[in-house]
Amino acid sequence: MILSHKDGNQRNYHLDNLEFLCYNCSFLYAASPITDTQADGMEDYIPAKEEFGWELDEYHLEHLRSLGLYKEEEEKPIGHEYITRQ
């Protein structure tokens, strides 16, 4: 639930001016959380053409292995025995 001000005045906290709206209704009927300028900026966004390659040093790889969050390329993924191949 999101608190909404019926008159649009964010400083008017009189009970008759407040209402709770669900998340979707808040975006449909209340003020937008983004400005028109921000929306224009999002529409004009051009993604980067290059992809970034991330390399981890051995210390961080070992830490991820100890947590079970990194598996070597040769190892089968966790739960592979439950995936059917057709």
Residue ranges per structural domain of the chain: 2-35
Q: For 40-73, write each residue's pLDDT tens digit.
A: 887 777 776 777 677 888 898 889 888 888 877 6
Query: Is the four-CA dihedral 62, 66, 67, 71 of positive or negative sign?
Result: positive
Q: What is the pTM of this model?
A: 0.36
The pLDDT of residue 12: 92
- Please state, in angstroms and rounded to a whole number, the distance separating the CA atoms of residues 29 and 79: 45
Q: For 11-51, write each residue's pLDDT tens digit.
A: 999 999 999 988 788 878 776 667 778 778 877 777 767 77
Whole-Å CA distances, 66 to 3, 21, 77:
44, 45, 16
Amino acid, res. 50:
E
